[in-house]
Amino acid sequence: MNILVTGGSGFIGSALCRLIARNSPHRVVNYDLLTYAANPLSTADLAGADNYVFVRGDIRDADALARVFARSRPDGVIHLAAESHVDRSIDGPRAFLDANVIGSYRLLQAAREYRDSGSAPENFRLVHVSTDEVFGSLGPEGKFSEATPYDPSSPYSASKAAADHLARAWRRTYGLPTIVTNCSNNYGPRQFPEKLVPLVILNAVEERPLPVYGDGMNVRDWLYVEDHARALLAVLESGRVGESYNIGGDGEMTNLELVRAVCAELDLRRPRRGGKRHAELIEFVRDRPGHDRRYAMDSRKIRRELGWAPRESFAAGIAKTVDWYLENGAWRAAIPAASYRARLGGAET
Ligand SMILES: NC(=O)c1ccc[n+]([C@@H]2O[C@H](COP(=O)([O-])OP(=O)(O)OC[C@H]3O[C@@H](n4cnc5c(N)ncnc54)[C@H](O)[C@@H]3O)[C@@H](O)[C@H]2O)c1
């Protein structure tokens, strides 16, 4: 297959491009605007591969999208390009509506025109990548299923919810073959350092405070990024058009437990002076407005239908992740300091 990936220079997109280029028989075109969230070093190792092409472009640009469809003639699209940081969406929601809603709309229209032009292969399909955050917040029990009603809390999750609805509407109204995926929190290498896991690692090694929102008891269902990438490729290859698939790791953990787990890894690798523990750097900060208490995914459908399951245990995945950030200072240095959001509050999950 020729696969067009949008947002392939970001955290999850770069893992997906690497999976396709290195471990699949397919070819991949990465279409990415290279916003502050992208790091060109995240795909630098793919530059010489004959089944990987990078095209710099904006999903809001209809002409550029028409060109990339015409040139790459994709069998499938996996759409990840988005503004993805909840805290930034609280400070400035407009950019999220532009990228996530209008951008997704333009991409759906471009895919529709490509399909209608007759140049798309017969089984052409588009996978729209979304989040568990569209479902809102859970109480202490239960999990989100594919049938859970949408109830987003933040401008970010509301913009993703809108895009999910567009993807479904384009299927029902125009017959565009779309599939929606909703995934839980990802962790792993190459995540923008405003996010909780890399922020904790990078702050801790510099002996800076580790900000944790509220009481630290918000629960997320953590999944290693490469497991998400495998799920997305499986959905593109074998998912049922018109369906949605929840993707999760059965890895429920409070933010505090997660931060402590990262600190414990750092204690082993980079012990602090005077026998202090990295966890002593934890500081509780004022909670995020509208902060959802708990997310947990019921991912039985994708496991049953597509035979997907996470391969990475949390213990092994977090150890690999900590090692990666400690060993890849050049990746971190390639992100201009000015592109960081002022870290006055808690860390982004
Ligand atoms: N990170 C998570 O835990 C998580 C979980 C579930 C779903 N998701 C979804 O997965 C997708 C990828 O998330 P991520 O964490 O890798 O995000 P990211 O912020 O690391 O990457 C986003 C990428 O999209 C690109 N982009 C942004 N606006 C663009 C535009 N207008 N045109 C073209 N490219 C543009 C950026 O340059 C960047 O490379 C998003 O759609 C997000 O909502 C993320």
For the sheet with 27-32, list strands across it.
52-56, 27-32, 2-6, 76-79, 125-131, 178-183, 244-247
Distance from the alpha carbon of residue 241 to the mean position of ligand 1, in angstroms: 23
| 200, 290, 295 from 256: Cα distances, Å | 11, 19, 15
For the Cβ of 80 lying below 6 angstroms from any atom of ligand 1, the answer is yes
Our answer to whether residue 133 is catalytic in this structure is: yes
Write down the pTM of the prediction: 0.97
252, 221 contact by CB (below 8 A): yes
d(CA 181, CA 306): 13
Average pLDDT over residues 180-208: 96
Closest residue to atom 21 of ligand 1, CA basis: 10
Q: How far is CA 130 from the centre of its chain?
A: 8
pLDDT of residue 342: 47
In the predicted structure, residue 338 carries a pLDDT above the cut 70: no
d(CA 243, CA 235): 10
pLDDT tens per residue, range 103-118: 999 999 999 999 999 9
pLDDT tens per residue, range 33-90: 999 999 999 999 999 999 999 999 999 999 999 999 999 999 999 999 999 999 999 9
Token pair of 341 as six digits: 């959001």
pLDDT tens per residue, range 237-287: 999 999 999 999 999 999 999 999 999 999 999 999 999 999 999 999 999
The residue from 156, 224, 245, 295 that is catalytic is 156
Between 250 and 341, residue with greater pLDDT: 250
The residue from 32, 58, 87, 132 that is catalytic is 132
Task: Please tell us whether the domain made up of 2-191+222-252+290-313 is placed in CATH 3.90.180.10.
Answer: no
For the CA of 156, the nearest atom of ligand 1: 43
Tell which residue, 243, 221, 239, has the closest CA to residue 298.
Answer: 221
CB atoms within 10 A of CB 47: 10
Antiparallel, parallel or unpaired: β 52-56 and 76-79: unpaired
| 30, 83, 303 from 95: Cα distances, Å | 22, 7, 35
Q: Percentage of the chain surpassing pLDDT 90?
A: 95
**Strand partners of residue 283:** 211
> What type of residue is 256?
L
pLDDT of residue 347: 67
Enumerate residues 6+ apart whose C-beta is below 8 A from 275.
Answer: none
Our answer to whether residue 164 is catalytic in this structure is: no
In the predicted structure, residue 130 carries a pLDDT above the cut 90: yes
